[in-house]
Chains A and B, each alone.
Chain A
Amino acid sequence: LAKTTQPISMDSYEGQEVNITCSHNNIATNDYITWYQQFPSQGPRFIIQGYKTKVTNEVASLFIPADRKSSTLSLPRVSLSDTAVYYCLVGEESLDSSYKLIFGSGTRLLVRP
């Protein structure tokens, strides 16, 4: 069974770079790693997705080592509005070829002025 582990919380200051790591020791061989951001009283919002190495978009970068047993979400120059909970999501393939999507426990990021 895939198990995803994230730090419970992180503190940062405006303008700093924040790196949040997720360990997924049993990710399906060909599955993607996705990161979401969630604000209170809202559904999660897609941030970035990747399969291996490095992916970058306008809001974040995602680093995935060769063994794919972990991934690191990098938020450059955070602002107060980046205060939220961040989740990683990976898939686990069952014997019947169906997928179970496993969310990490979430990392609560607090950005201070």
Chain B
Amino acid sequence: KAGVTQTPRYLIKTRGQQVTLSCSPISGHRSVSWYQQTPGQGLQFLFEYFSETQRNKGNFPGRFSGRQFSNSRSEMNVSTLELGDSALYLCASSLAVRLAGDSYEQYFGPGTRLTVT
């Protein structure tokens, strides 16, 4: 079956603009997580959505937001872009949301490379 897809793959924006990234999970997966990857900070967890509700959240400012639709597809929005937001944004899907003591496997998409100038 098809893997996790992310669109667009590459994006160039100007400081101060806003951007929306899209993620389509594997069919049947109901949880979508977003990560930011930069050379300096590595992989950092942004948030996780399950059944259209944000269930877990990392330590990012409110400029970073997301949502999930009834078909499990998810979007991530970054407002008032800063140069430091340049990164690879990864989406991962899984069958269920991460809860204490759960064993579950996440499948990652190829990412969206965002460059802020």
Decide yes or no whether A98 CB sits under 8 A from chain B.
yes
Would you call A49 and B45 a contact (CB within 8 A)?
Answer: no
B100 CB → nearest A CB, Å: 5
Tell me the nearest residue of chain A to B44, going by C-beta. A103
**B contact residues, total (Cβ < 8 Å):** 28
Decide yes or no whether B99 CB sits under 8 A from chain A.
yes
B92 CB → nearest A CB, Å: 7
Residue interface bits A71-107, CB-to-B below 8 A is 1, else 0: 0000000000000000100010100011111111110
Would you call A100 and B45 a contact (CB within 8 A)?
Answer: yes
B49 CB → nearest A CB, Å: 12
User: Do A32 and B103 form a contact, CB below 8 Å, given A44-B90, A98-B57?
Assistant: yes
Of the listed residues A28, A93, A101, A102, the one surrounded by the most CB atoms of chain B closer than 10 A to its CB is: A101
Of the listed residues B35, B55, B98, B105, the one surrounded by the most CB atoms of chain A closer than 10 A to its CB is: B98
Would you call B109 and A43 a contact (CB within 8 A)?
Answer: yes
Inside 8 A of A106's CB, which chain B residues have their CB? 42-43
Residue interface bits B42-59, CB-to-A below 8 A is 1, else 0: 111100100000011111
Would you call B57 and A103 a contact (CB within 8 A)?
Answer: no
B25 CB → nearest A CB, Å: 13
Would you call A30 and B42 a contact (CB within 8 A)?
Answer: no
Would you call A99 and B42 a contact (CB within 8 A)?
Answer: no
List residues 23-73 of chain B with CB under 8 A from any CB of chain A: 33, 35, 42-45, 48, 55-59
Inside 8 A of B108's CB, which chain A residues have their CB? 36, 43-45
- Contacts from A to B (Cβ < 8 Å): 28, 30-32, 34, 36, 41-46, 49, 51, 87, 91, 93, 97-106
